Amino acid sequence: MPRLTPERREAKRAEIVAAARRCFSRDGFHQTSMPDIAAEAGVSAGAPYRYFAGKDEIILAIAGDAFRLVFAPIQELAAASAAPSVADLVTASLQALSAETVTDAAGHDVPVEELLRCAVQTWSELLRNDTAQAHALDGFESVRGSIADALRRGQAAGTVAPAVDPERGARVVMGLLHGFLLQRVAFGLTDTAAFTGDIRTLLPEG
């Protein structure tokens, strides 16, 4: 007879993740202590260890969330849209990240700003953690595949130049996304419209 129902367990785990995300966004991964997270979540110092093996596991959970949520819009668009141009893909993705919050798979609202601040920190972790890098690369390739498919449809429809290699072109699209996120979060350049506008100018259809 589990005292803790799976639903309640999941809810508490999500609270801890949300607390950690707030701390990480505010103070950084390495300036946040486990007691900080527990206090922010309003639980005891030992509680997070019943949901995560340690601090690294919390970081990885948030890293995964960040990756998925950042690329969810472009994946949806790549799947849904008949024949998007490159600029369409980038624009739609960045506009989705202009909202205050996005909703994760479990239905929780996640502040975009927090998410992106964690995402940038995540990149540093990938340098030192081969497992994480492998997972991240899997995710990256999956998103790249979706985008490549969309580019192929775009080529068929004439909205993407035929000379573009879809796999490699998809990599450029992801580079543009990451590049913009970095400018927004680390350099304070938040003007999404200006960025997407010039992408449209620089990357002509067909």
Which of the choices a second copy, DNA, none does residue 77 contact, using the CB cut-off of 5 to 8 A by kind?
Answer: none
Q: State the DSSP H helix or E strand holding residue 61, giving kind and residue range, or none if neither.
A: helix 55-80
Query: Nearest approach, Cβ of 106 to a second copy (angstroms)?
Result: 26
- Separation between Cα atoms, residue 174 and residue 140, nearest integer Å: 9
Residues within window 4-43 making contact with DNA, judged by CB under 7 A? 4, 9, 12, 31-36, 43
Shortest distance, CB of residue 205 to DNA, whole angstroms? 49
97: its two tokens: 């990240």
CB 157 within 8 A of CB 88: no
Are residues 37 and 45 in contact, defined by beta-carbon separation less than 8 angstroms?
no
x-or-dash pattern for DNA, window 52-91, by CB under 7 A? --xxx-----------------------------------
Could you tell which of DNA, a second copy, none binds residue 163, using a CB distance below 5 to 8 A set by kind?
A: a second copy
Using CA atoms, how far apart are residues 194 and 183, in angstroms rounded to an integer? 12
Of the candidates 195, 166, 149, 177, which has an alpha carbon nearest to the alpha carbon of residue 67? 177
Residues that bind a second copy (CB under 8 A): 27-31, 86, 117, 120-121, 123-124, 126-128, 133, 136-137, 140, 161, 163-165, 168-169, 171-172, 174-180, 182-183, 185-189, 194-195, 197-199, 201-204
